[in-house]
Amino acid sequence: MKSSIHILRCRCSSSSGLRSTATRSHRYASTSSSSTSTSTSSSTTPSTPTPTTSPKRTRWLAITLVSIAAASAGAYIRTQTPSSATLNTETFTKYSLVSRVPISATSSLFTLRPRYPSSDNYDVYENAWRTGVWSVMFKQPQLQIGRDYTPLPTTAATSLSVDEENEGYLRFFIRKDPFGEVSRYLHTLEVGADIEMRGPQIECEIPKETREILFIAGGTGIAPALQAGYSLLNRTTTTNRPNIHIIWASRLRADCVGGVSDTPKVEASPSSRSWFSGWFGSSSSSKAHVESVALTSQGQESSLIVRELEALKSQYPGQITVDYYLDEENRFIGKNDLAEFIKPSKSVAGPQNRKLILVSGPEGFISYMAGPKVWAQGTELQGPLKGIIKELDPKGWAVWKL
């Protein structure tokens, strides 16, 4: 998931036309004044002086009137021109906020639909789902900045009606970042408010020959993991049964309440710690867990994201497994946990059994797992592989940072 904020720039019309008009007005006023002065001096009959308007005042009055007229015309045109009905990468499309359902104290599920429904949206979405992991940019109109968010796939847990699918509904798992201008703005909106978005932007294309994915997700990075699982497992046939294993690290129990890990935990090494301990102070070492642990409390309903994951597991039995790690309960992803799945091959995997490691989450999480992404000439690049994945020598695996 992208974490960068984009500054949106708009083109402003040139004021050269006004400057040239003012120049011509100034020249005409000077010529008229000179001519009048000559005529008056050559006349022998006295005349009563006629009051005249200052040329400078006349010039600025004309400029003001022209500016007001242009602004009014522009405002009228904007009110009469509807937003693009189909999601596209060139212009922003208006969506309406249908609902915002809290998942935890800091995150919510947003459901949106296009303000102007278009049947073309179905094809736009389907092409993106088939390709791999994708996102759209939300615009914060007051500050003119944008932020990328990942749509959630539709599963049996939260299936949309036929009408909702036809109208192009989209859902997003968004955390309210106290320092995030866009996420804070989104969490202040009331149901029915307009949200402008642009896309889809393909974040990672999953090759057709991919047979196995290890997805390491931190926080809301679980949204791209659901996308990857949805895209990969939809390719299942009688001769092709791809697999995906998701490792999800959450800070708060509420985000993943009800989740049950599929892999028995091995004893964590003494150095195991949270990825953000270096940023926010030290964390205590991880406790040993030798059995799968249910994160739910008695009588407490599983979180929506956990229900989404369970729905995928039911739909594709034996092809998807999930392990949960919780900072709040001192369970962190360590090198030993990844070593269970990242076992170097003797040779690079061929096209028939390609393996892919995807890492998604906050910048600090990605850096800890696989090294930071880098910026060069205004473009965000993958950067060299580092972190604990590098230490495991993942030969035969392709690694991609989202």
Is 385 or 74 the better-scoring residue by pLDDT? 385
pLDDT of 268 over the 50 cut: no
pLDDT of 66 over the 80 cut: no
Known binding-site positions = 147, 149, 182-183
Euclidean distance between CA atoms 376 and 198, whole angstroms: 24
* Least confident stretch, 39-43, 71-75, 238-242, 309-313: 39-43
As given in the structure block, the two tokens for residue 329 are 């309960």
Residues 285-315: pLDDT tens digits?
333 333 344 544 455 788 888 999 999 999 9
Taking each helix axis as running N to C, give the angle between helix 55-80 and helix 16-42, from 0 to 180 degrees, rounded to the nearest 10: 150
State the pLDDT at residue 57: 67
pLDDT band at 254 (very low <50, low <70, confident <90, very high): confident
* Least confident stretch, 20-24, 138-142, 242-246: 20-24
Is 16 or 60 the better-scoring residue by pLDDT? 60
Beta bridge partners of 399: 357
pLDDT of 324 over the 90 cut: yes
Other C-beta atoms lying within 10 Å of the C-beta of residue 281: 8
- Name the average pLDDT for the chain: 77
State the pLDDT at residue 281: 34
Beta bridge partners of 375: 380
Which residues have a Cβ under 8 Å from the Cβ of 159 and sit 6 or more positions away?
A: none
Is 51 or 166 the better-scoring residue by pLDDT? 166
State the pLDDT at residue 165: 72
| DSSP label at residue 105 | S
pLDDT band at 401 (very low <50, low <70, confident <90, very high): very high
Displacement of CA 148 from its chain's centroid (Å):
2
Q: How far apart are the first and last CA of the chain?
A: 5
pLDDT of 10 over the 50 cut: no
Is 42 or 7 the better-scoring residue by pLDDT? 7
Q: Which of 31, 40, 1, 167 is nearest to 96 (CA)?
A: 167
Beta bridge partners of 149: 136
pLDDT > 70: what percent of the chain?
A: 66
Which domains does the chain possess?
84-203 (2.40.30.10), 206-401 (3.40.50.80)
181-196 mean pLDDT: 95
pLDDT > 90: what percent of the chain?
A: 46
Euclidean distance between CA atoms 250 and 219, whole angstroms: 5
Residues 71-98: pLDDT tens digits?
555 544 444 444 568 999 999 999 999 9
Pseudo-torsion of CA 229, 235, 239, 245, nearest 10°? -10
| DSSP label at residue 294 | B
Cis peptide before 362 (omega within 30 of 0): no
State the pLDDT at residue 37: 42
As given in the structure block, the two tokens for residue 110 are 């947003």
State the pLDDT at residue 386: 95
55-61 mean pLDDT: 67
115-142 mean pLDDT: 91
pLDDT of 21 over the 50 cut: no
CA distances from 377 to 5, 298, 380, 383 (A): 16, 53, 8, 13
> DSSP of 329-364, one letter per residue?
GT----HHHHHTT----SS---TTSEEEEEEES-HH
pLDDT band at 35 (very low <50, low <70, confident <90, very high): very low
State the pLDDT at residue 309: 93
CB 150 within 8 A of CB 135: yes
Is 271 or 128 the better-scoring residue by pLDDT? 128
pLDDT of 264 over the 60 cut: yes
* Least confident stretch, 29-43, 45-59, 124-138: 29-43
129-152 mean pLDDT: 93
State the pLDDT at residue 327: 86
pLDDT of 272 over the 70 cut: no
pLDDT of 33 over the 50 cut: no
As given in the structure block, the two tokens for residue 206 are 């999953």
Displacement of CA 372 from its chain's centroid (Å):
18
Euclidean distance between CA atoms 69 and 75, whole angstroms: 10
Euclidean distance between CA atoms 170 and 160, whole angstroms: 10
Known binding-site positions for FAD = 147, 149, 182-183
CB 87 within 8 A of CB 168: yes
Q: What angle do CA 166, 80, 199 make, to 5 degrees?
A: 45
CA distances from 370 to 6, 28, 345, 359, 363 (A): 24, 70, 19, 8, 10
CB 103 within 8 A of CB 254: yes
Helix, coil or strand: residue 55: helix
Displacement of CA 297 from its chain's centroid (Å):
32
